[in-house]
Copies of this chain bind each other. A is one copy, B any other.
């Protein structure tokens, strides 16, 4: 595929307009998909395991006679550990160890304080009970995502983690199962699609009803997640992945090109953008792109992504580079500069920040420790990487002393009467000392 990558200058008159067009992304909300998904959900709610079995045999071309054939317990999951190479197993274990260590820092504890009159206030923080992890089948199944989805839930203390993943034509992905074993999944159900999401949301005889569903999936899975939201919690509905690289022009241009490719190779809608104050360096990166693209296994995908959605943006200086970054609010941000620490306080919005020339995004994607499940499409303005906090919940604790209830009762009474909620007022007034 031939083509060229968009070049912009942040000072050009139509920059904001061109940038907006480049960033524009509308998730397709196809009514026919919604129709199919609603039908699948209704069938699973009504007929449970039987519907699950029927859909799985039909869509995944399997021949299961009973749901028991589609369930793997911990012992069966662990068998995959011997089906992968020693090198792969060691890499998964190193990654899991580092992800676990990092996420331990996110765990939050219950807290409370006691006021002078003996009233106790606080929050009881507990883990979600049951979590469902969806893992796509076939080539789109990433063992690294299994680690990233499951380990924070384990660190939070979730009691039961059920993974669902289709095995089209009965093909099992042993690296994915090995990752599930290492991460600590309790049960794997080899079903997928909207039917898996429906089963996790409403429960069947075989699949437990969970409190939250995490994990990526195709348009049917994403649509089903939207439809069951409220019945269960969700991680997020992810858009295409994005990287913004800010470079001072002193990094090897081949490195920058490859970093852009590492996002572009995901899919044709992925977005890779370089921001740099040095026009010559941008030329060098463009030359590296032309030179290296043909050497990529996933050249077709990467070039479509780069030529349709990528950009090389020249800026006046680093201050303007930061302004462009905060405008874009990227999922991944590489600060490929001499002193990244100096820029950090100015970064308002970014999902994960890769600091310095040595920290390529790929290191964070796999094994540095932080989560690779990140908000996309500018939603980092108001949301955060997947973390232990997504698997914990809080209950407010209020324990008034007799004295405290009497004093607070007077305040509550005035405010409740101001809102014409007199039963509230009288309930508070009962506790005022005579």
Report which A residues bind B (CB closer than 8 A): 27, 87-88, 90-92, 94-95, 102, 105-106, 111, 113, 119-124, 126, 128-129, 139, 142-144, 175, 211-212, 230, 232-233, 237, 252, 254-255, 258-259, 261-262, 264-266, 296-298, 302, 340-341, 344, 347-356, 358-371, 374, 377, 379-385, 387, 389, 393-402, 404-405, 408-409, 411-412, 414-416, 418-428, 430-431
Q: How far is the CA of A351 from the CA of B123 in the complex (A)?
A: 10
The minimal Cβ–Cβ distance linking A213 to chain B, given in whole angstroms, is: 10
The answer on a CB contact under 8 Å between B340 and A399 is yes
Contact partner of A353 (CB less than 8 A), chosen from B113, B396, B430, is B396
The answer on a CB contact under 8 Å between A363 and B423 is no
The answer on a CB contact under 8 Å between A418 and B143 is yes
Q: How far is the CA of A225 from the CA of B126 in the complex (A)?
A: 29
Q: A88-B418, A358-B400 are in contact. List 16 more A-B contacts (CB 8 A).
A: A91-B411, A123-B385, A143-B419, A233-B379, A296-B423, A298-B422, A351-B396, A352-B397, A353-B397, A358-B431, A359-B400, A360-B427, A363-B400, A363-B409, A367-B412, A368-B400
Majority SS of interface residues in chain A?
Answer: mixed
Contact partner of A91 (CB less than 8 A), chosen from B124, B355, B414, is B414
The answer on a CB contact under 8 Å between B402 and A358 is yes
The answer on a CB contact under 8 Å between B102 and A361 is no
The 9 A-B residue pairs whose C-beta atoms are closest, nearest first, are A233-B382, A355-B399, A370-B396, A358-B405, A261-B423, A352-B396, A91-B414, A384-B394, A366-B412
